[in-house]
Amino acid sequence: MSADDGQASCVQASHVHEEHAVFWAVRGVASDLEVAGIQRSLAPGQGLFVPAGTPHGASRASTTALVVLFVDPGAWVEAPTQVASVVVNAALRELLVHLAEFAMPKEQRLRAQRVCLDLIADEPHVSLALPVPRDPRIEVIARAILSDPADDRSLEDWAYLTSASARTVVRAFRAETGMTFAEWRSCARMSAAVELLGEGIPVGVVARRVGYATASAFSAAFHRMMGRPPHRFLPERGVDVR
């Protein structure tokens, strides 16, 4: 088991590792991870298990909050068999940082590593997968919404602006993302919301920034999609992991 900040071992271009990888955010929100062509956003406490051999790309920027933990497949026979959301709670983060920064006898380190694996728990509906379309007919729409999630133009409006038919836009979104336009926009809004909440921005302000008229409507939609209320994605207090 080894931890790395992604600077050397992971690159933005798609690649694979012989080891399993567990990605997590050391601070704030990390949204610069792509696994099997799907963008992922990880808020504090969230992790993503990526099995050995799975194509992925991760930011090498010095500002990234993303950290990756590598695990020898032979050392973790209980590991998930596919990409899965996991919990990386404060206790696990502190222990991983301690293992990365301090030397200790081999047997003690092995015991601590086993504790780390035991602390990683399954947590469905915790990380947000956002497929970004590549089809040029709708990529411009997707990029515009990603830059301004509060943009409330209808599918027909977007079709007119891009000189395409509404039917073409509908089919392209379904083919490229597996979602309807409305479903994809909701996912994009929640992805933006997770990032804003991770920066400590109040729920009411986040609601307006991602296109909801009221905090209650946003909270209901967020809880329905993410499985947790928005306030659970605000930064943890009293935990300082560097």
- Domains in the chain (CATH in brackets) are 2-122 (2.60.120.280), 133-233 (1.10.10.60)
Percent of the chain at pLDDT > 70 equals 85
Amino acid at 53: G
Q: CA–CA separation, 7 vs 222, rounded Å?
A: 32
Residue labelled with tokens 């986040």: 206
- Enumerate residue ranges in the chain where pLDDT < 70: 1-9, 27-31, 43-45, 121-129, 235-242
pLDDT for 153: 95
Confidence (pLDDT) at 27: 65
Cβ-defined contacts of 99-104 (< 8 Å, 24+) = 99/1, 99/3, 100/3
The per-residue pLDDT for 116 is: 85
Tell me the two tokens of residue 192: 């933006």
In the three-class reduction of DSSP (H, G, I as helix; E, B as strand; rest coil), residue 127 is classed as coil
User: What contacts 212, CB < 8 A, 6 or more positions away?
Assistant: 189, 218, 221
SS3 category, 177? helix
The predicted pLDDT at position 119 comes to 79
Tell me, what's the pLDDT at 238? 40
In 10 A of CB 81, how many CB atoms?
A: 7
Burial class (CB in 10 A: 0-12, 13-18, 19+), 82: exposed
pLDDT at 43: 66
Q: How many residues can be counted in the chain?
A: 242
Q: What is the pLDDT of residue 85?
A: 80
Per-residue model confidence (pLDDT) at position 20: 92
Torsion of CA 88, 24, 35, 149, to 10 degrees: 100
- Please report the pLDDT score of residue 44 as a whole number: 63
Pull the structure tokens for residue 214: 């009221």
pLDDT for 40-60, tens place per residue? 877 666 788 999 999 999 877
**Rounded CA gap, 228 and 239, in Å?**
21
Name residue, tokens 């038919």.
165
Q: Which tens digit of pLDDT belongs to each residue from 173-206?
A: 989 888 899 989 998 898 888 878 877 899 999 9
C-alpha closest to that of 214 among 206, 134, 33 = 206
Both tokens of residue 199?
């920066």
